[in-house]
């Protein structure tokens, strides 16, 4: 299995979310943690970057709290999830954004499940239209805004990275985003993250995070009660069409 974010070369495996290189690393062990249906659901439920209690994750995975706790213990031991205690409760989150991108890429490689009813298609539509991929915008909206930024010359794609042009710095400044603190001039401030529903790239990395944070701050997009799902506000729908030429209903 090829997992973006992990590289194996003659016994050397790199785990970017752990920030270290393990000699003779066992990629199969990491893959097996993701392969279980309940653990996969838990990981996907954490893909919006939020911290969640074990009880909520059990509900989302449709398993008992005891079963969820067993799976969470394995995910924590495997370095895919971190846990913190607040009083007598434990809260969980993904280890970091690189793991989120690996999950998004795996989802893009996986065959789409057939939607056998109108209800299922209606449930699937919102998460495909606009969602969080950990800390940046994904789905149709994320891909179309990325395409618009490339078309206008704000971003230049170089393999799996997006480079911000000189023109692009002004474009981000017009949105109220100071790119100065994000990195040195000319550096690759954006990553190309493969979108699982569009099967194309959306903007990730520091630029993607900054843009998403700004769109939320402007109330052009907003979180919904459904994990990961974002919605366009009425003002946002008008503003995004005017700024990016993107129309999403």
Domain ranges of the chain: 7-109, 121-244
- SS3 for the chain, per residue? CCCCCCEEECCEEEECCCCEEEECCCHHHHHHHHHCHHHHHHHHHCCCCCCEEHHHHHHHHCCCHHHHHHHHHHHHHCCCEEEEEECCEEEEEECCHHHHHHHHHHHHHCCCCCCCCHHHHHHHHHHHHCEEECCEEEHHHHHHHHHHHHHCCCEEEECCEEEECHHHHHHHHHCCCCCHHHCCCCCCCEEEEECCCCCCEEEEHHHHHHHHHHHHHCCCEEECCCCCEEEECHHHHHHHHHHHCCCCC
pLDDT, tens digit (0-9, with 9 covering 90-100), for 10-35? 333 334 444 444 445 567 888 899 99
Q: How confident is the model at residue 49 (pLDDT cuts 50, 70, 90)?
A: confident
Classify domain 7-109 by CATH number: 1.10.10.10
Residue 217's pLDDT is 98
Say whether pLDDT at 9 is over 80: no
For the chain, what is the mean pLDDT? 84
Q: Convert the pLDDT of each residue in 168-200 to its tens digit.
A: 999 999 999 999 888 765 567 899 999 989 989
pLDDT tens digits, one per residue of 69-78: 999 999 999 9
Q: Model's pTM, two decimal places?
A: 0.72
pLDDT at 140 over 60: yes
């Amino acid at each position: 299995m090829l997992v973006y974010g992990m590289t194996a070369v003659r016994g050397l495996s790199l785990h970017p979310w752990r920030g270290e290189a393990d000699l003779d690393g066992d990629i199969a062990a990491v893959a097996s943690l993701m392969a279980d249906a309940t653990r996969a659901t838990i990981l996907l439920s954490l893909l919006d970057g939020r911290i969640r209690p074990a009880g909520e994750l059990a509900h989302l995975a449709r398993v008992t709290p005891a079963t969820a706790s067993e799976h969470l213990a394995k995910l924590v031991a495997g370095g895919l999830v971190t846990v913190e205690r607040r009083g007598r409760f434990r809260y969980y989150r993904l280890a970091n954004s690189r793991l989120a991108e690996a999950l998004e890429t795996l989802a893009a490689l996986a065959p789409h499940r057939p939607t056998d009813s109108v209800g299922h298609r209606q449930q699937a539509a919102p998460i495909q239209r606009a969602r969080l991929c950990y800390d940046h915008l994904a789905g149709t909206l994320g891909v179309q805004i990325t395409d618009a930024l490339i078309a206008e010359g704000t971003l230049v794609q170089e393999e799996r990275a997006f480079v911000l042009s000189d023109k692009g710095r002004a474009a981000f400044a017009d949105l109220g985003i100071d790119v100065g603190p994000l990195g040195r001039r000319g550096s690759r401030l954006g990553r190309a993250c493969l979108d699982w529903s569009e099967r194309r790239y959306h903007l990730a990395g520091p630029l993607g995070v900054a843009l998403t944070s700004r769109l939320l701050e402007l109330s052009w997009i907003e979180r919904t009660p459904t994990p990961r799902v974002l919605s366009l506000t009425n003002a946002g729908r008008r503003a995004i069409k005017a700024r990016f030429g993107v129309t999403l209903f």
